[in-house]
Chains A and B, each alone.
Chain A
Amino acid sequence: MARIEIKNLTKKFGSLTALDDVNLSLEAGKIVGLLGPNGSGKTTLIKLLNGLLQPTSGTLEINGNKPGVKTKKTVAYLPDRDALPDYMTAPQLMKMYADFFLDFDRARAETMINDLGIDEKQPMKKMSKGTKEKLQLCLVMARRADVYLLDEPIGGVDPATRDYILRTIISNYNEDAVVIISTHLIADVESVLDDVVFIKNGRIVMHEGAEDIRQEKGESVDKLFREVFKC
């Protein structure tokens, strides 16, 4: 059974159609790139999967359940902006995550946070942008979730931080989970992807294996993206 099943999903904001009749089925054990330019509907789709938005029409199911209380237990979400209390330190945030999420693996989070050398006494607001992003990712990835929704996890970080983030995603890989990475920085993520979903003006224009694209078209996902989304 598919981990995520989306059928005829439409989301409108007033007269703007953000998602237009989206159908998408994603299997466990895959790292999926949700790739599209700015304003294509990536964040809207992730927010719908996360229950932060309600569909105008159509259905979404995670493990057969509509997004809601049940699915939040098994969905780990990294928003595209800072969403945690910035006065908290790393240990305080770990405690909060442990309180909120039964599947939070504190030992794992501690290991990752130690690797990063984050000062235990430093509140989040004093951390650099890159450190903040890494810390948030560690907290999200330390959950033993079925679905990871990572909205722009590598936006605006230096190449070393980007590598750390991608390696964290790889090291966390588990065959029962699906990881969705939304980004427009294709070249940076394409080597870690199983599946590629191109989204354009609220529509899914392609869903293929990344290796299949390289094999059949003889070009990188990045290059194909530039062709599909040529301005």
Chain B
Amino acid sequence: MEWNFKDGIPIYAQIIDEMTMRIASNAYAPGEKLPSVRELAMDAGVNPNTMQRALAELERRGLVYSERTSGRFVTKEEEVLDNLHEELARKYFQEFAEKLRKIGMDKAAIKESIEKWVDGIEGDNNGKDRD
């Protein structure tokens, strides 16, 4: 898995987004143990305090939890994961809808185009083979 950071955006925020995506896409499965802060920091090439801050925030959001002696794990709570998928789907849809609006499509046209194109989407694997 690759880490890519953009300039001028706090790195901890970018780590949160990337880790959220990894959890949502099952790259880290529910209940899976996460690598240590140091390992993740080395892998991403970032400051360990920054990685720690991002993981603390993910913990606050309930996406990961820690067990005192054994480390951090991805949540197993289905409700949290369902909400996460819903939230991400809404975010992507908004981005997509914004682009369509920019090229002059109204609500009805967007709806129509979704109907039109959705059948052409290749595969249906619930995103599980995503990298």
Chain A residues engaging chain B, CB cutoff 8 angstroms = 29-31, 163, 166-167, 170-171, 173, 191-194, 210-211, 214-215, 217-220, 222-223
Contact = CB atoms under 8 A, between A and B. Distances in A.
A194 B9 CA distance: 15
A223 B49 contact: no
Contacts of A170: 38, 41-42, 45-48
A194 B11 CA distance: 11
B17 to A, nearest CB: 14
Q: Is the interface of A mostly helix, strand, loop or mixed?
A: helix
Contacts of B44: 191
23 contacts: A30-B49, A163-B45, A170-B48, A171-B42, A173-B38, A173-B47, A191-B5, A191-B44, A191-B46, A191-B47, A192-B47, A194-B49, A211-B11, A211-B12, A211-B53, A214-B9, A215-B10, A217-B8, A218-B8, A220-B7, A222-B7, A223-B7, A223-B8
Given A170-B41, A170-B42, A220 B47 contact: no
A101 B6 CA distance: 41
A31 B47 CA distance: 8
B26 interface: no
Interface string B22-50: 00000000000000001001101111111
Contacts of B12: 211
Contacts of B48: 170, 173
B47 A193 contact: yes
B36 to A, nearest CB: 11
Nearest to A214: B10
Contacts of A219: 7-8
A228 B94 CA distance: 38
A220 B8 contact: yes
Nearest to A31: B47
Contacts of A167: 42, 45
A140 B70 CA distance: 31
Contact of B8 (A29, A30, A214): A214
B10 A194 contact: no
A29 B8 CA distance: 24
A173 B12 CA distance: 18
Interface string B46-76: 1111100100000000000000000000000
Interface string B3-21: 0010111111000000000
Q: Which 3 A-B pairs have the closest CB atoms?
A: A220-B7, A219-B8, A214-B10
B2 to A, nearest CB: 13
Contacts of A29: 49
A163 B46 CA distance: 11
